[in-house]
Structure 1
């Protein structure tokens, strides 16, 4: 089986359970895939990308209500929001595999690893909602901010690496410790169990952002671009959001951000 074609097939799957299972299966079978790295994979005309379920209802990000984690309903909404990010992250990784030809085989295998780990994160959060909070994925409205940037950067692998993993996903490195602090303050068994899940997610997301950083730097070197200057140009061109303080500098350093990049992110 060819990896990039299979990634597109899985990206088109609308059912979250089927998609996450297929992403995990792809990683388990990675050694059996061929990689047609120089062959463009045409998108399927019969599907809108990405495949997604009828629920959750998708709203503009400003229309999605925020709720306090002090209540069970608020914690359910919070975990649902994170699960939705992880579901979108499966799609983002699969899209990177099929969409961009002429990259080294390691590029495709790196994003296969990310797709599988995001699938595991999604399942951990979904199981937590079902077992502890009486809700399931789809029960709350959500937004498509991550996928919107994916669409904007569909024509440019440099912009994709700059603005999805190392910008939008990197925001999770900053936000997760703050969310964990709030959940610890609540102190209920379900809140503390969620903190443990977020520990797993944060550790692996450092690796995902590091993969984005690696390939962004590799692409800049190949094209003779200065990574910091070009990032500033791309962030302005595509209206990428700036990180919200406080920045998790330790996690970002572990993910490969340079001191010059951290300085720019903090001060512009």
Structure 2
């Protein structure tokens, strides 16, 4: 028997040497030369598993997620952002998404991962931002009329209470739409929006979810959505304030319609938060009863210096991925007979299509004015600024309604 085991080890060594296997030691996360990240997981039974560490939904950090037993011994890695499950064995998710998994072997006491890309313990170096690219500190805030859109955008960003943020958003949207606010103004936003002190903010991997199919798990999912909508309100006002002085290569400013579109987006996101917050109350809980994370604001910081990047990543990737997962999310609530939540999700879905369309419209507008190739520019910016991978399934119908193509 010992001879057989030795022969097996030698045979495995030959496979490792001949294939794309790489010895990786015992680190938990690796970086590949093509920019992808791989997370290595060791379960309690001593087995090893490896998959892409960015959630294919919105790039959540799977290396900070929890391992959950889905039953029948099937283990899944749970995304800490939106609680999507990914089978350690196949990479498949109950949401319909698919993550890339990699074969792992232990040979002669050494750990190997099968991937054609060269792995490293350190990320691929990226170009450093210049001082001009950095976020403007609050101390440099410029004087701006209290009747300007940017003044109110900054005020809303600095409002910690979510319901006050919603109320102010509705008020400013009404004043803008009726012409009582006419000046766009100039007022740099804060580096990060304010949040109430009682809100428990934790690392993404520390947020737990239920097993699914219970009221508690529905509350957790609605709570997560409400947190996203609160950030979405802020992202809308941030793009208004941060890029109010943006100039095209021709020297022209953005047309007024740009600001009209994102005031509407802010109003929609405020409506979504209010609907979700009320539904959470109806189910016997409240917003803030569960921990939240601020991982989604990373996209704002990553694209703070580049309007095209902001439009591409936030509106044409993040919001479009929201369209992709809508059918599965809706079916979960429908299967539990939660018609009230289903109606809210349908409202959100309808509005989000217009948000993707707005991002696409202004991305295309700027590219056209600056004689850039829209598709190539989009892919370049996403590759540079989006911390995840765009993988199927895609909601083709929803994306087409928003004006997106398969390119």
Q: TM (normalized to structure 1)?
A: 0.88
Question: 2:274 matched to 1:123?
Answer: yes
Aligned to 1:265: none
Structure with the higher fraction of residues in strand conformation? 2
| Aligned counterpart, 2:286 | 136
Equivalent residue number for residue 196 of structure 1:
343
Pairing 1:98–2:248 present: no
Structure 2 stretches of 5 or more lacking a match? 1-146, 246-252
Q: Secondary structure at the match of 1:29?
A: helix
The alignment status of 1:207 with 2:354, answered yes or no, reads yes
Instruction: Indicate the residue corresponding to 2:311 in structure 1.
Output: 161
- Contact 1:8/1:98, CA 8 A, preserved across alignment: yes
Aligned counterparts of 1:154 and 1:60: Cα–Cα separation in 2: 22
In 2: Cα distance, 1:55 partner to 1:218 partner: 42
| Superposition pairs of residues 1-268 of structure 1, within 5 angstroms | 1-30=147-176, 31-36=179-184, 40-43=186-189, 49-100=192-243, 101=245, 102-131=253-282, 133-187=283-337, 191-259=338-406, 261=407
Q: Is the helix fraction higher in 1 or 2?
A: 1
Contact between 1:69 and 1:186, CA under 8 Å: does it hold in 2?
Answer: no
Q: 1:92 to 1:247 in 2, by over 3 A?
A: same
User: CA RMSD for the aligned pairs?
Assistant: 1.6
Tell me the number of residue pairs that the alignment of Structure 1 and Structure 2 aligns: 251
The Cα of 1:55 is off from its aligned counterpart by: 4.2
Inter-partner Cα distance in structure 1 for 2:211 and 2:363: 37
8 Å Cα contact 1:55/1:139 also seen in 2: no
User: How many Å separate the matches in 2 of 1:67 and 1:174?
Assistant: 23
- Consecutive unaligned residues in structure 1, runs of 5 or more: 262-268
Structure 2-normalised TM-score? Answer: 0.59
Q: Deviations over 1:166-222 (max 9, x none)?
A: 1112111011211110111112xxx22101100000001100110001011111112
In structure 1, the residue corresponding to 2:285 is in which secondary structure? coil
- Of structures 1 and 2, the larger Rg is shown by 2
Give, in angstroms, the shift of residue 53 of structure 1. 1.8
Give the drift of 1:56. 3.4
Of stretches 101-110 and 195-204 in structure 1, the one that deviates more from structure 2 is 101-110
How far did residue 246 of structure 1 move?
A: 1.6
Q: Distance in 2 between matches of 1:151 and 1:207?
A: 24
Higher RCO (CA < 8 A, seq sep 6+): 1
**Whole-angstrom distance in 1 between the partners of 2:198 and 2:392:** 32
Question: Quick check: 1:163–1:240 contact (8 Å CA) kept in 2?
Answer: no
Confirm or deny: 8 A CA contact 2:150 2:186 kept in the other structure: no
